[in-house]
Amino acid sequence: MDQFAIEFALKADLEWLVRHDKHVDRAILEKKLIRQEVLVARSNDGIMGWLRYSLFWDSIPFINMLVVLENHRRRTVGSSLVQYFEAHMKEQGHSRVMTSTQSDESGQHFFRKVGYEDVGSLLLPPEPLEIMLMKRL
CB of 93 to ligand COA, least distance (A): 25
DSSP secondary structure letter of residue 129: P
How far, in Å, CA of 53 to CA of 128, rounded? Answer: 22
Q: Is 66 in the site for ligand COA (CB under 6 A)?
A: yes
Q: Is 54 in the site for ligand COA (CB under 6 A)?
A: no
Q: Is 101 in the site for ligand COA (CB under 6 A)?
A: yes
How far, in Å, CA of 40 to CA of 48, rounded? Answer: 7
| Nearest of 68, 57, 54 to residue 24 by alpha carbon | 54
Q: Is 76 in the site for ligand COA (CB under 6 A)?
A: yes
CB of 120 to ligand COA, least distance (A): 16
